[in-house]
Amino acid sequence: MKVLSRWPVFLAFTMLLAGVQLILAANSHAQSSYFTSRGCVDCHSAPVVASCNGCHYHGNRSLQATTNKTSYTPGETVSVTLTSASTRSGWIKAILYNQSNAVVAASSGNASGMGGSTTFPATLSAPAPPTPGTYTWQMAYLGNDNGIGWDVHSEAAVSTNTFTVAAAADTAAPTVSAFTLPVTSTSLTVPVSSFTASDNVGVTGYLVTTSATAPAASAAGWSAAAPASVTAPAAGTVTFYAWAKDAASNVSASRSATLTISTEPAPDVTKPALTVSTQDNGAITSNPTLNVSGNATDDVALQSVSVNGSSVQADASGNFSTAVVLVEGPNVITVVALDTAGNSTTNVRTITYVTNVPVPSELVITAPVDNLVSAQQILVVQGTTGELAMVTASVNGGSPQVAALSGNTFTVSVYREPGLNTIVIQSVAPDNSSSSAKRTVIYDNTKPTVAVTEPDEDKIVSDPSLMIKGKVADSLSKVTVKLTMGGQVYYPVVREGKFEQKVKFGKPQQYTVVVTATDEAGNVASATRNIIYRKGKGNGRDD
């Protein structure tokens, strides 16, 4: 009974399903008739084939626009393909829009009978934007709106995937178009007459070398602007090479310029500096011997000092002193300092020697001795003269200072300037008769300099003897050297500011060498060296 009761239901369902299938089949066959019934044939006339995808009902199914790449260089071709999930066929019109919604491409087939047709998948191409950046385009197809009415067309559009435009790698090197220098120069520093360069993007660096090998873009010496001058390593014929680089580290080919450099020294036209310390011009003396002292120096090299034509030896500091025998009457004293370039400086003064000059009594200077070198700024001048005389002392032409007189003994203290000082002592008797004397003294208040040039500190030697060498200097007076080592004392001779002394080692051990330099004023400086003596075990540091 239950089986029989279900039979009418099953029969009814079967008949309903068959009816639906008949309706669907009829509709399927009828869709192609829409091309006629909706008036498409009025424009797209035979022999145009009907298009189902031309209707948005079919063609606009999951539209997708995809670029062939995701990155392009400016102007490179971008190809976009429009696809649909439609299972129908037929022609469509495709259109490609750029980021500014401007049409950059459209289909061009004739399947529609009106031009501009294509089919799914539809591919259109256009140049990439010229400016680097990130972009999205759109692609659309033009078709008939479904169910809206007679002959109504519109676009169905979809955005492409995002793509980028990046500038192409810069592989073009700059070009140096001009690089010129003077043909000759008298200086190692040479002005650049011209240096210009260009690049497709921009020049970021300039460099001039003396090597034809191209420098790296990361090398030292590049400058943002073309250099105004170049420096040669030495005189002679020199070739310079000009280079340019860009931001992409491309380095240009070189452009060269050759010149001849002659660096003859400029002529020496400077005269020596000369200071003379003796009696003043026009002085009268009863002393038949005149001491002439002074100092002569030159900016290049001093050749000689002469007094009345006779050569006088100057020490390393330029100090000199000599005695001139006077004849009765006027005596012309001529001091000449001559340098190696022939420039000279002359000091002339006249000293009158008389044997019967009235003096209060003989003026005798007991201190200081002439040509004294000392480290004290205050100097005591002492001597004897006639009773009741007034004695004064002046330094370098300064204001006279009155001496204290006790009987016929006088004492006066004077201040000196560093270097050469001339002290003039004068005694005036009550009857205004006078006599004078002069002392040349040097105030040296600086220590000499001393340096051991050989050997190096902590030198290890295997030889039982070693030569110690060094240098000393003092701007005002002579320097003597004392060298001590391991209880041994040496006094090497100083020649032109240099000394050397051979020392001998005893037992293997460390020895300390002490070099003491003392100038004429008693100023002292010292230097030390530690030397390690290892008999027969030199390690190579004593080469």
**Confidence class for position 21, pLDDT limits 50, 70, 90:** very low
Give percent above pLDDT 70 in the chain: 90
The C-alpha angle 432, 436, 442, rounded to 5 degrees, equals 150
pLDDT exceeds 70 at position 502: yes
Give, as one character, the DSSP assignment of residue 353.
E
What is the C-alpha to C-alpha distance for residues 48 and 32, in angstroms, rounded to an integer?
13
The pLDDT score that the predictor gives to residue 29 is 38
Q: Look over the chain and give the mean of its residue pLDDT values, rounded to a whole number.
A: 87
pLDDT of residue 362: 73
- pLDDT tens digits, 475-491: 888 999 999 998 899 99
Judged by average pLDDT, the poorest of 33-37, 273-277, 321-325, 334-338 is 33-37
The count of residues in the chain is 543
CATH class of residue range 175-261: mainly beta
Q: Between 523 and 16, where is the model more confident?
A: 523
Task: Please tell me what DSSP assigns to residue 4.
Answer: H
CATH fold, domain 273-443, is: Immunoglobulin-like (2.60.40)
Peptide bond into 508 cis (omega under 30): no
Strand order, beta sheet including 71-72: 71-72, 163-165, 133-135
Mean pLDDT of 172-196: 95
Q: What is the pLDDT of residue 16?
A: 42
Quick one: pLDDT at residue 34?
74
Q: Which residue has the higher pLDDT, 191 or 88?
A: 191
b/e map 283-322, b = 16+ CB within 10 Å: bebbbeebbbbbbbbbeeebbbbbbeeeebebebbbbbbb
The CATH number of the structural domain formed by 449-533 is: 2.60.40.10
Class of domain 40-165: mainly beta
Q: pLDDT higher for 359 or 73?
A: 73
pLDDT surpasses 90 at 451: yes
Helix-then-strand count for the chain, H and E: 3, 43
Write down the pLDDT at residue 147. Answer: 53
pLDDT at 12 over 50: no
Alpha-carbon gap, residue 215 to 252, rounded angstroms: 10
Distance CA 124, CA 134 (A): 20
Q: What is the mean pLDDT of residues 388-396?
A: 90
CB atoms closer than 10 angstroms to residue 188: 14
User: What Rg, from alpha-carbon coordinates, does the chain have?
Assistant: 55
Mean pLDDT score, 166-193 = 93
pLDDT for residue 155 is more than 80: yes
Distance between CA atoms of residues 130 and 415, nearest Å: 88
8: left (phi over 0), alpha (psi -120 to 50) or beta: alpha
pLDDT, position 349: 95
Q: What is the mean pLDDT of residues 518-543?
A: 79
Q: What is the pLDDT of residue 118?
A: 93
Digit-coded pLDDT (tens) for 248-298: 999 999 999 999 998 877 788 999 999 998 888 888 887 888 989 999 999
Model confidence at 540: pLDDT above 70: no
At residue 357, the pLDDT reads 56
pLDDT in tens, 131-147: 999 999 999 998 887 65
31 pLDDT exceeds 60?
Answer: no
Q: Are 416 and 379 a contacting pair, CB within 8 Å? A: yes
How high is the pLDDT of residue 53? 83
Residue 62 falls in which region: left (phi positive, over 0), alpha (psi -120 to 50) or beta: left
Among the ranges 12-16, 204-208, 519-523, which has the highest mean pLDDT value? 204-208
Q: Minimal CA–CA distance to 395: which of 368, 418, 423? A: 423
Phi, psi of 65 (to 5 degrees): -115, 120
| pLDDT at res. 19 | 43
Do 449-533 and 175-261 have the same topology in CATH?
Answer: yes
pLDDT for position 2: 36
Dihedral sign computed on CA atoms, order 407, 413, 419, 424: negative
pLDDT at 170: 87
pLDDT-derived band at 150, boundaries 50, 70, 90:
low
Domain boundaries, the chain: 2-31, 40-165, 175-261, 273-443, 449-533
**Structure-token pair, residue 401:** 């200072």
Residues 503 and 466 sit within 8 Å (Cβ to Cβ)? yes
Question: Distances from the Cα of 147 to the Cαs of 28, 55, 92, 494, 531, in angstroms?
Answer: 16, 10, 18, 122, 112
Residue corresponding to tokens 């005591």: 380
At 20, is the pLDDT very low, low, confident or very high (cuts 50, 70, 90)? very low
Helix (H) or strand (E) holding 10: helix 2-31
Render 268-298 in DSSP notation, one character per residue: --PPPEEEEESSPTT-EES-SEEEEEEEEE-
SS (H, E, C) 415-436: ECCCEEEEEEEEEECCCCCEEE
Give the pLDDT mean for 328-349. Answer: 95
